[in-house]
Amino acid sequence: MSAVLDSLSHSLIVEFCGLQLQSPIVLLSGCVGFGEEYTRVEGFSNCDVGAIVLKGTTLLPRLGNPAHRVYETPMGMLNAIGLQNPGVDHVVRNILPALDFTETRFFANVCGSTVEEYAEVTRRFDDSPIDAMEINISCPNVKQGGVQFGNNPDMSARVVEACRAATKKPLITKLSPNQTDIKENARRCIEAGTDALSVINTVMGMAIDVESRKPVIGNVQGGLSGPAIKPIALLKVHQVSEIARRHRVPIIGQGGIQSAQDALEFMIAGSTAVGVGTSLFYDPFACKKINAGITGYLQRHAMPLSALVASLHSAH
């Protein structure tokens, strides 16, 4: 039995920006707090995932947006938390020391309202045990920074360049779907020094209460996640994957993944790793099922995980 388990775990190992991940699954920022929210669920283990992306972190503490912040939609969820967090110094001094870095990898999520703030948050995480940093230039529910950087290739490149100068740790740039040409943005971010790409962040959306005739979300707009955005996310991964492969830049594909089949589709489209987020809210054990499903698929097709990634391109 131990030999079978050994084989199972090794078949899912992926190399990502020089880091070895024990599974292609990455838990997405904002969905597991600072890594502690799912450790309270009996039977959940960080060993089931390759990496956990911590909650978005700014230079100074933020209270976030006014309520309501979350609203369930058909096949999805709107959220406008507004990057509520205790600030980078508190995270580095008080939260990171409590994390078990022997169980899985931990990626910081770097946020800011200015290029300088992004660089300073990156610098402070550089002097910490964090394994890598995701640059959040594409958050659709903050009034300053966020999406205004992610939808402008020039601004995106400036942020990545500033962060690159502040650290030697791997940088992952989170791309927005709410832009004209995601391929051009990806190219500019790669040229500016990003080591990987997260594709995609949430899609802008809103909901209206017909009785009050007012927006449900206090911020008016929020980010739509969940199965509703999966076809959009798959297309964006496919569009970005050609330039990413050319530069040997891996992709974390994300957007509506709730099953092994979803994860497999994203890897076939070009993702080295896959992000799981919204589905954890209703199935905390989704990762175990996804891992088992991927392993079963690889065994049935007698292929390694590496051969699966971007196999859509080789098929044409």
Residue 178, exposed/middle/buried by CB under 10 A (0-12, 13-18, 19+)?
Answer: middle
Quote the distance between the C-alpha of residue 161 and its chain's center. Answer: 20
Cα–Cα distance for residue pair 279/274, rounded to 1 Å: 13
Q: Which of 17, 31, 111, 139 is catalytic?
A: 139
**One-letter amino acid identity for 78?**
L
Cα–Cα distance for residue pair 274/265, rounded to 1 Å: 10
Cβ atoms within 10 Å, residue 299: 12
Do β-strands 203-205 and 222-225 pair in parallel, antiparallel, or remain unpaired? antiparallel
* Cα dihedral across residues 31, 33, 35, 40: positive or negative: negative
Cα–Cα distance for residue pair 15/72, rounded to 1 Å: 35
256 phi-psi bin (left φ>0, alpha ψ -120 to 50, beta other) = left
191 phi-psi bin (left φ>0, alpha ψ -120 to 50, beta other) = alpha
Asked if 139 is an active-site residue, the reply is yes
Token pair of 236, please? 């964006």
Cα–Cα distance for residue pair 91/22, rounded to 1 Å: 25
Query: Could you list the active site residues?
Result: 139
